[in-house]
Structure 1
Amino acid sequence: MSHYVITYDVGTSGVKTCVYAIDESIKLVASSMEGYKLTILEGGGAEQEPMDWWHAMRRTTRQLLQSHDIAAEQIQGLSFCAQMQGLVLVDQHGEPLRRAMSYMDSRAVREHREGLVHGLRVSGMNLRKLAQSLIITRAVPASVKDPVWKYKWVQRNEPALFERVYKWLDVKEFLLHRCTGEFVMTEDSAYATLLYDPREGRKQFSARLCKLFGVAVEHMPKVVPSTAQVGKLTSEAAEALGLREGTPVFGGGGDAALIGVGAGAVAQGDTHIYLGTSGWVSTVVGKQILDAKHMIASIVGANTTGFHYFSELETAGKCLEWVKNHLALDEIGVYLEKKQISDSQESIHRSLYDYMMHAIKDVPAGSNGVLFAPWLHGNRSPFEDPNARGLFFNIGIDTGKTEMIHAVLEGICYHLRWQLEAQDLKVKTSSAIRLVGGGALAPLTCQMLADVLGREIETVDSPQNAGAIGAAVVIAVGLGCIASLDEAKQLIKVKARYTPNLANKAVYDHDFVVFKTLYRNNKKAFSMLNAQRNA
């Protein structure tokens, strides 16, 4: 008998609400999407209204139930997959005290410098704090974008508001409270604060680290497993969502924790790449490993039997969004107005991104020498620099939009190769790599990534929903449908495979050498142009 469940994929640009049927496999029954704003502020700020997430949840849930004639009583569980390392400060009633600071927020330069850099240093970091962090978490809050510095930024710059803080929550934890009234944080989100002790027998926020970084330990919520039932839908939440009071609500996980589950990359040594608004390379490992030089750490996932050796690209699909809005605008305007496009062509180009992919399909590998660096909002790995920015390199008099758009896609792939090669220095990544996220919907992107990496690329059904599928697997474990998250590999099958084109690979091998010089050669210029603006 099928179990009907609802998952919420809470991304940077919108909430995708999905109804799944779980039996021998996980089948998508219906889905609905609603977007919201990301506010970019001077000095590196990036914020969102927490209630925008909740209102999008509420409207999409009601819309799905009504349009697909699904009874509230049929829904047997809810869970979440969400963006991570946000800072949602709430009062004792769970009401947000200010807009949430996104994982992209890089304002806390002073707090980061004073909190981690001052004192006796190793690799530019305070020795005492470095040593304690490595002992307890096997990671360090070395990025200005790590949430502890956002917390300290609010403490310094908004002291009256800070006095009213009751709990520090992440994105989905705020929504879990709206649903159940419980203040909790799943283990993966707790670890992402870099104040959590994941060692066996501890598994709680570290009072020592909180004191070391000046965080009030009472601000931290109770920690629960991703598959735990956090609580049941309150009457108020049930009325808002159009669901049954008492519906079980499970912890879920952050996107970095659950997208790998939804990709079926759950066994030790499995590597997956995510291409959404952000991007990353993640490999399942059996123990915690840290590469401080390349800013790669082993993070706690939804499945706590292993870790994710994880390196992030801040702006991946965001670069394509930028291209759509600012570079391809004239062509897209032509498309929208249906000029010079036949009905047959129009039926092929179901979205603007499909149209862009069609427009660049004949551009040769290497984009006729044009390179693009995808660091539109700084970068984390394999180098940490909030001042880094995107750039086009080697534009010629004959360069057109198609070459530039193609180069943007290649630049994202080059950066992912850089991260993959950095991971290979410490662990063995898989020869076949699962690609998920919206980027995996385009065969051109899949083949290009195979060519750039020189690896086989595998895709799954509905790759853009990998996080939501991972959340459905969490519910399946919570309801007892399957024994553990390890069984995701049997539920999620490969849909398509892409093998490297050796002629294209030769071009990419040559140009990749130049790509890696772009940051080193421009690091000083980035600082001169942006350090003052980000201060």
Structure 2
Amino acid sequence: MDYVIGADIGTTSIKLVLYNTKGKVLGYVNNGYKLYQDAPGMAEEDPHEIYLAMLKGLHDLTSKVDNPSDIKGVSFSCAMHSLILLDKNHRPLTRALTWADNRAYKYADQLKHSDLGPKLYQATGTPIHPMTPLTKIMWFRNERPDLFKKAHWFVGLKEYIIYLLFGTLKEDYSIANATGMFNIHTMDWDPTALKVAGVKRDQLPELVDTTYQLKGLNSHVVKLTGLDPKMPFVIGASDGPLANLGVNAIQPGVLAITIGTSGAVRVITDKPKTDPKGRVFCYYLYHHMWVVGGPVNNGGIVFRWIRDQICGSEKVTAKELNMDPYDLLTKIASTVPAGSDGVICHPFLGGERAPIWDANARASFFGLTRQDGIPQMIRAALEGIVYNLFAVNKALEDVVGKPKSIQATGGFARSGLWRQMLADIFDQEVTIPKSFEGTALGAATLGMLSLGLIDNLGEVKNFVGTTRSLEPIKKNADVYKELIPIYLRLGKKLETEYKAIADFQREHHEG
């Protein structure tokens, strides 16, 4: 039997899944690591902690097979937008700044509202936002010139780990696409973006396709993991596009909606497409396969905030009942009708990416009366998460048209209330694929193609497994049709004040 490992390097953990060539899961490891948030806007990881977590995971999975040579390859997925500064000897000068690091907000805002901002977006397919390495490099150049001057290389997390594994710096088109410095029309680093960043082409890794194979594994890694030294690694792609592949949302018009800690709405097209209003991204996956969509910062993390900050007594009750607090909160929310009795939540606890791309965005509840309480607030927060995904989809429809079908995945899919809420708010049938760790499966499938173990990416349909579908409930959908325009209009009005309140909060914090 031949095996492939899909390795998904995420924001708080690395997930490694051992698959056979039929897509069956034969082993799973989830190794966590710390997200450092010691200062306002900071969100960093230690790349060596991630490297060690990966080595341990590879060792544990390799020990599950009788013959390590039966593992034909490891294929990577990685979270987008990370940045590490390296010195001339490839030693890190910084930790890895993740997509969630917002400290470059000032430079992103300046660039976004300059004449150059829209042109860069059209060239790169990456919205101007502090998540991008482009704006993070601008931040270093202006705020930490000492580190910027010492830096010889500017790389992402995947590229640095590949360097530790193979001693070479390579970057796949998909990860490069999300830096804000890669031109989606020339498939090369964009000269204008590099000039804006203040970096030279030879300070960035060599670009390769997503099926590129790395060979010559470091002997130290072989010793620690037990892997066959001749086994190739497939460089893979970024997590968003691979999530689409992993749930078999690769045909035009098939919308993939993911809600985990954060969330995303994405669809595949056969060529690069951008939005005149700059609301969606366009990222490369494979030949004639581009993923157009929008990521949101505020998914399940909002539900966690509700649990921890609003529902303290409910947490205690859940513990007394030996019940998952999320299950109890969902049960409480289900006692309130669709629309939360007119309470609307804009769930922007962590700023927001799509569709407004505003790091200054803040959360709010609107419509509260004396008759409302925790049940309405819980449901309104859950609805607000889905309203925002619906707003992303409306922007997406302007670029690629109305979706033919919806595939929904992520931790939220375990909740019957959320599943139905998604169908009702989108007023469309929603399908829940069974696939386990879809992003890792996407990485493994791309790896199988590179290694010649499958003929085309469409074979992922055989790996996903059975699915279940939900139809919208008409009376609920009708309520949401009344409330969504209010949500959208209110959001427009609030946008004009986000910067003012964010500036006040920063000044107050610094004081």
Q: Give TM-score scaled by structure 1 length.
A: 0.88
The match for 1:162 is 148
Which residue identity does 1:478 align to in structure 2? Answer: S
Instruction: Note if 1:180 corresponds to 2:169.
Output: no
Instruction: Note if 1:56 corresponds to 2:53.
Output: yes
Which residue identity does 2:499 align to in structure 1? Answer: S
Give the C-alpha shift of residue 376 in structure 1.
Answer: 1.3
Instruction: Note if 1:125 corresponds to 2:104.
Output: no
1:82 pairs, out of 78, 83, 108, with 78
Which residue identity does 2:133 align to in structure 1? Answer: P
- The percentage of aligned residue pairs carrying the same residue is 28
The match for 1:488 is 460
Equivalent position SS for 1:476:
helix
2:94 pairs, out of 98, 101, 121, with 98
1:446 pairs, out of 419, 434, 444, with 419
1:325 pairs, out of 294, 303, 308, with 308
1:26 pairs, out of 17, 23, 28, with 23
- Inter-partner Cα distance in structure 1 for 2:310 and 2:217: 45
Give the C-alpha shift of residue 280 in structure 1.
Answer: 1.3
- Inter-partner Cα distance in structure 2 for 1:501 and 1:234: 56
User: Is there any run of 5+ residues in structure 2 with no aligned partner, and where?
Assistant: none
- Inter-partner Cα distance in structure 2 for 1:331 and 1:503: 30
Equivalent position SS for 1:45:
coil
Give the C-alpha shift of residue 222 in structure 1.
Answer: 0.9
| Mapping for residues 364-383 of structure 1, pairs under 5 Å | 364-383=337-356
| Mapping for residues 197-236 of structure 1, pairs under 5 Å | 197-199=183-185, 202-236=186-220
- Inter-partner Cα distance in structure 2 for 1:187 and 1:334: 50
The match for 1:8 is 7
Instruction: Note if 1:282 corresponds to 2:281.
Output: no
2:336 pairs, out of 350, 355, 363, with 363
The match for 1:46 is 43
- Inter-partner Cα distance in structure 1 for 2:489 and 2:231: 54
Whether the 8 Å CA contact 1:294–1:383 is kept in 2: the answer is: no
Whether the 8 Å CA contact 1:44–1:534 is kept in 2: the answer is: no
Instruction: Note if 1:473 corresponds to 2:459.
Output: no
1:308 pairs, out of 288, 291, 310, with 291
Q: Deviations over 1:475-504 (max 9, x none)?
A: 211221112324323543451111111111
Whether the 8 Å CA contact 2:169–2:205 is kept in 1: the answer is: yes
The match for 2:32 is 35
| CA-based RMSD | 2.4
Which residue identity does 1:243 align to in structure 2? Answer: L
Change (3 A) 1:504 1:3: same
The match for 2:357 is 384
Whether the 8 Å CA contact 2:78–2:237 is kept in 1: the answer is: yes
Change (3 A) 1:225 1:361: same
Which residue identity does 1:177 align to in structure 2? Answer: Y
Q: Deviations over 1:220-241 (max 9, x none)?
A: 1011111221234321222333
2:483 pairs, out of 511, 515, 520, with 511
The match for 2:374 is 401
Whether the 8 Å CA contact 1:182–1:231 is kept in 2: the answer is: no
The match for 1:429 is 402
Change (3 A) 1:208 1:258: same
Aligned residues: 507
| Mapping for residues 409-428 of structure 1, pairs under 5 Å | 409-428=382-401
Change (3 A) 1:131 1:82: closer
Change (3 A) 1:477 1:455: same
Equivalent position SS for 1:76:
strand
Change (3 A) 1:356 1:174: farther
Which residue identity does 2:314 align to in structure 1? Answer: E
Q: Give TM-score scaled by structure 2 length.
A: 0.92
Give the C-alpha shift of residue 41 in structure 1.
Answer: 4.8
Give the C-alpha shift of residue 93 in structure 1.
Answer: 4.5
- Inter-partner Cα distance in structure 2 for 1:503 and 1:325: 32
Change (3 A) 1:54 1:213: closer
- Inter-partner Cα distance in structure 2 for 1:8 and 1:402: 39
Which residue identity does 1:500 align to in structure 2? Answer: P
- Inter-partner Cα distance in structure 1 for 2:440 and 2:496: 41
Q: Deviations over 1:292-349 (max 9, x none)?
A: 425113222x22312111112122122123223323343233333xx2x2xxxx5xx5
Give the C-alpha shift of residue 208 in structure 1.
Answer: 4.4
Which residue identity does 1:333 align to in structure 2? Answer: V
Change (3 A) 1:268 1:490: farther
The match for 1:250 is 234
